[in-house]
Amino acid sequence: MNAELRSRLESIVGPGLVYGPGEPVDGVRPTLAVRPGTQDEVSAVVRACAEAGAAMIPLGGGTSLGLGNPPARADVLVHLDRLDRVVEWDPANLCISAEAGMRLEALQALVAKDRTVLPLDPPGLRRVTLGGMVAANPSGPCRLQYGTVRDWVLGMRVVLPDGERIHCGGRVIKNVSGYDMNKLFIRSLGCLGIITEVTFKLLPMPARRAAVIGRFPDAATAWAVVGRTLASFLLPEALEFLNVEAAQLLGGPPGTCVLAVSLSGSSETVDRQVRDFTGFFQDGGGTADVLQEAAASRAWEGIRDLLEGAYDPILCRIAVPLSATPALVAAAEGMAREAGLKAVVTAHAATGVLRVLLAPGADPHPGEALMVLEGLRREAEAAEGSLVLEAAPRSLKARFDAWGTPPGGVDMMKRLKTEFDPLGICNPGRFVAGI
């Protein structure tokens, strides 16, 4: 099959753009890798794979490659890096369509020229591609104000597992012409098809930006300030909590945790919020450092990417109802300590989403890490939340499902998978419940 499929793929994309074996995904090495250059070529590649019964793994910037379970099968790695063009840019109507392999950072730099923004800030933003971001649904601190990918995608083009090309949504904010098919593909981890183009809505660029970084003697004082913020009228873009271990990575005095706010808007509202937050932080027993413009942006990059780039990380994302966040942070610290590990925790403090990095890396302590993850998952699920593995060594993944207890509607999810991908060739086995 391989030689035949290889020559077929070469005939679609050209000889230099098929190679083998592909880069490993969770230790599974695809026999071939292919780099299509257009959406039509993606369609032809998928059709060829479907006819050969070959399992495909779509790949963007690779930032979410650790998310989910190891692939059940992997024959062809489909790199989307050559699909990096802007398809249509309409600044006056605040929307842009671009191909899936375009980097988020490149798109943001482009739209900034017209003083607009796409306010999504996933970790590792420099490497994240549009398609990867839509498929894997990572989120950054600014989800507090702006929500997640699902709130910004107006439309997309997808190549279905049989090679058929479809278009979902459109270019307008309000669109109820049939089902909202975008939602089916957002966060589906590429297991219902390959996203080839995305249309986003944009926002006018705020006039000003600032940050207030506070240090607190303990978590309780920091969470009290979070509570006060939530009860206020203030509208921070992001409110991020870093536990003592995470704050240490960011630099600064040891033994303190950090609460940071990002503010943007008109001069008047930024000034007001800088003033109010400085007051909140100091009244709450913390310090307050005010950063403006570029310095504020740099500080936020640091916070956003704090947990990226660790060698051989065990990294999980926990989402719980907002009020359960402090308890989950404390549980992560407590369980890690008992297991002889450290928990580096960052939390989107006003949305109930936290990320936990267990250090040191897994290999010296596989059993201990497993125990911590299992305990944390129990706590998260008891609070009606979830724990999802974002990265872990394969040995650990073999003993710990990346997604946890299947969600409501899982039978319907499996049926959708079978309907759209009857051959089971689109990123098989990596998603929820073995999908």
232-291 binders of other proteins (CB under 8 A): 232-235, 265-269, 271-273
Q: Which is nearer to other proteins, 81 or 114 (CB)?
A: 114
**What's the CA gap between 75 and 96, in Å, rounded?**
33
Strand partners, 265: 208
Instruction: Among 113, 174, 254, 311, indicate the residue that binds other proteins (CB under 8 A).
Output: 174
Q: Which is nearer to other proteins, 137 or 297 (CB)?
A: 137
Rounded least distance, CB 84 to other proteins, Å: 24
Going by C-alpha positions, the residue among 217, 291, 294 that lies closest to residue 261 is 291
Q: Which is nearer to other proteins, 182 or 248 (CB)?
A: 182
- Pick the piece of the chain touching other proteins (CB under 8 A) from 216-224, 225-233, 289-297, 363-371: 225-233
**What's the CA gap between 379 and 324, in Å, rounded?**
10
Site for other proteins in 104-163 (CB under 8 A): 115, 137, 139, 143, 147-148, 150-151, 160
Q: Which is nearer to other proteins, 177 or 311 (CB)?
A: 177
Q: H helices then E strands: how many in the chain?
A: 14, 19
Q: Which is nearer to other proteins, 179 or 311 (CB)?
A: 179
Q: Which is nearer to other proteins, 134 or 244 (CB)?
A: 134
Q: Which is nearer to other proteins, 1 or 207 (CB)?
A: 207
Rounded least distance, CB 91 to other proteins, Å: 8
Q: Which is nearer to other proteins, 254 or 408 (CB)?
A: 408
Q: Which is nearer to other proteins, 82 or 187 (CB)?
A: 187
Instruction: Among 105, 180, 289, 308, indicate the residue that binds other proteins (CB under 8 A).
Output: 180
Rounded least distance, CB 193 to other proteins, Å: 9
**What's the CA gap between 104 and 114, in Å, rounded?**
16
Instruction: Among 47, 127, 171, 228, indicate the residue that binds other proteins (CB under 8 A).
Output: 171
Q: Does 428 bind other proteins (CB under 8 A)?
A: no
Contact map string, positions 391 to 420, toward other proteins, x by CB under 8 A: ------------xx-xxxxxxxx-xx--xx
**What's the CA gap between 214 and 92, in Å, rounded?**
38
Going by C-alpha positions, the residue among 294, 297, 227, 305 that lies closest to residue 259 is 227
Instruction: Among 3, 16, 92, 113, indicate the residue that binds other proteins (CB under 8 A).
Output: 92
**What's the CA gap between 37 and 13, in Å, rounded?**
7
**What's the CA gap between 258 and 245, in Å, rounded?**
10
> How many CA within 13 A on the CB side of residue 232?
16
Rounded least distance, CB 271 to other proteins, Å: 8
**What's the CA gap between 104 and 116, in Å, rounded?**
14
Instruction: Among 173, 220, 327, 398, indicate the residue that binds other proteins (CB under 8 A).
Output: 173
Site for other proteins in 313-372 (CB under 8 A): 317, 319-323, 351-353
- Pick the piece of the chain touching other proteins (CB under 8 A) from 55-63, 125-133, 181-189, 337-345: 181-189
- Pick the piece of the chain touching other proteins (CB under 8 A) from 72-80, 127-135, 185-193, 284-292: 185-193
**What's the CA gap between 40 and 94, in Å, rounded?**
27
Site for other proteins in 13-52 (CB under 8 A): none
What are the tokens at 66? 């650790």
Rounded least distance, CB 112 to other proteins, Å: 13
Residues 6+ apart with CB under 8 A from 84: 98, 99, 101, 102, 103, 106
Angle between helices 219-231 and 267-283 (to 10 degrees): 140
Binding-site size for other proteins (CB under 8 A) equals: 87
Contact (Cβ atoms closer than 8 angstroms) between residue 226 and residue 286: no
DSSP letter at 167 equals E
Q: Which is nearer to other proteins, 388 or 425 (CB)?
A: 388
Q: Which is nearer to other proteins, 233 or 311 (CB)?
A: 233
Strand partners, 258: 215, 242
Q: Quickly list H helices, 181-324.
A: 182-185, 219-231, 244-250, 267-283, 293-304
**What's the CA gap between 7 and 5, in Å, rounded?**
5
Which CA distances in Å does 297 have to 129, 171, 211, 272, 294?
Answer: 20, 30, 8, 19, 5
- Pick the piece of the chain touching other proteins (CB under 8 A) from 11-19, 77-85, 178-186, 330-338: 178-186
